[in-house]
Structure 1
Amino acid sequence: MQYYQFFKAFHIIGFVSWFAGMFYLVRIFVYHAEADDKPEHLRNDWKSQFTQMSWRVYKIICNPAMMITWTFGLAMLITNPAILNQNWIKVKLVLLVLLTGYHLYCKSIIKKQEQGLSTYSSFQFRLLNELPTLFLVSIVLLAVVKDVLNFVYLFAGVMAFGVLLFLIAKAYKKSRNK
């Protein structure tokens, strides 16, 4: 049990780094998509640079941070398996699996952008960039309030927050287009 607090600390460091990397990565996707609006003599160089940046962020920040998060999270569960009897951790684990799926989906986007096959607009990437925010809010609320939180209210609140983020993104797009 003496190692549990260290596992928790490294778990937190891992997920903070993971989310930072995911937010930055999808932001690079936005810039890559916006390179299509640049003059043709700049376009290919910019896209090449953004692809290189994407791979570096993915391989150097996102992947190690995800592995640290999972490793030390699982170490906490092994050290204190009684946690698995609580409902909140089961929901958190499902969200982490979904977040890992998002992480892998971002890798497929890098490959598509590298091959010139990405069909997302910069606005769609901006919306995709809000998805980790929904994961972050949900996971942190689950970990902090645990079983006190009614999961139905959590889901409704996160969905409302998602709609709010969408409306803000639409308003931002509208103001940029003026």
Structure 2
Amino acid sequence: MNLYDFARALHILAVIAWMAGLLFLPRLYAYDAEQADKAEPLRSEMRELLRTWQRRLLKIILNPAMAAAWVFGLWLFWLRSGGGTDWSFAHQPWMLAKIAGIFALSGWHDYLSGEFRRIQAGTSARTGRFWRMTNEVPFLIAIVMVLSVTLEWGTR
């Protein structure tokens, strides 16, 4: 096993954890938004439980997994460049698609974090329907990223 393969394995594991959180958190938000139609006291108890899960998912899984995915991804980028000597791959369409996907997923993560704060403050205007409709956004982005990297689209 070489260093590149080791870095790639760690990156894949971090991305799996990050994606799991990005796919699950909107579902928790949908359940939270749907509690408005429920009767007390179950509504308050369920909301408290959902918000505990949301906080834990963000703080214990999502944030560390995103940080690890970035760190290992940047390490891979460095290793792929031969230690900073050949950056030609960085301009290939497949790598540009991956970079765009990284920023899209990071932006979605930031949006979800902001929405968590709005939910906690009681100022979120999003419905359960909205969260169900947007729940698969990270997976669609991941499809493009994985296909572009594994097939190296646009390589000459």
TM-score computed with the length of structure 1 as normaliser: 0.79
Query: CA offset at residue 148 of structure 1?
Result: 4.8
Query: CA offset at residue 5 of structure 1?
Result: 0.5
Match of 1:12?
Answer: 12
* Higher relative contact order (Cα pairs below 8 Å, separated by 6+ residues): 2
Alignment of 1:122-137 (within 5 A): 122-137=128-143
Are 1:145 and 2:147 an aligned pair? no
Which of 105, 108, 113 does residue 102 from structure 1 map onto?
108
8 Å contact from structure 1 (residues 14, 66) kept in 2: yes
Query: CA offset at residue 58 of structure 1?
Result: 0.7
Residues in 2 aligned to 1:57 and 1:23: alpha-carbon distance in whole angstroms: 11
Letter of the structure 2 residue corresponding to residue 61 of structure 1: I
Match of 1:23?
Answer: 23
Residues in 2 aligned to 1:17 and 1:29: alpha-carbon distance in whole angstroms: 19
Query: CA offset at residue 140 of structure 1?
Result: 0.9
Unaligned runs of 5+ in 2: 82-86
Query: CA offset at residue 86 of structure 1?
Result: 2.1
Summarize deviations over 1:74-115 as a string: whole Å, max 9, x none: 101111124314221122111101110100100111111111
Letter of the structure 1 residue corresponding to residue 146 of structure 2: V
Query: CA offset at residue 2 of structure 1?
Result: 2.8
8 Å contact from structure 1 (residues 48, 114) kept in 2: no
TM-score computed with the length of structure 2 as normaliser: 0.89
Letter of the structure 2 residue corresponding to residue 32 of structure 1: D
Residues in 2 aligned to 1:139 and 1:65: alpha-carbon distance in whole angstroms: 17
Alignment of 1:76-115 (within 5 A): 76-81=76-81, 82=87, 83-115=89-121
Among the aligned pairs, what percent are the same residue?
Answer: 32
Runs (4+) of structure 1 moved beyond 3 Å? none
Over aligned residue pairs, what C-alpha RMSD do you find? 1.6
Residues in 1 aligned to 2:38 and 2:152: alpha-carbon distance in whole angstroms: 48
Are 1:55 and 2:55 an aligned pair? yes
Secondary structure of the residue aligned to 2:41 is helix
Letter of the structure 1 residue corresponding to residue 129 of structure 2: F
Unaligned runs of 5+ in 1: 150-178
Residues in 2 aligned to 1:103 and 1:96: alpha-carbon distance in whole angstroms: 10
8 Å contact from structure 2 (residues 101, 142) kept in 1: no
Match of 2:36?
Answer: 36
8 Å contact from structure 1 (residues 88, 142) kept in 2: yes
Whichever structure has more helix as a proportion of its residues is: 1
Aligned length: 149
8 Å contact from structure 2 (residues 14, 65) kept in 1: yes
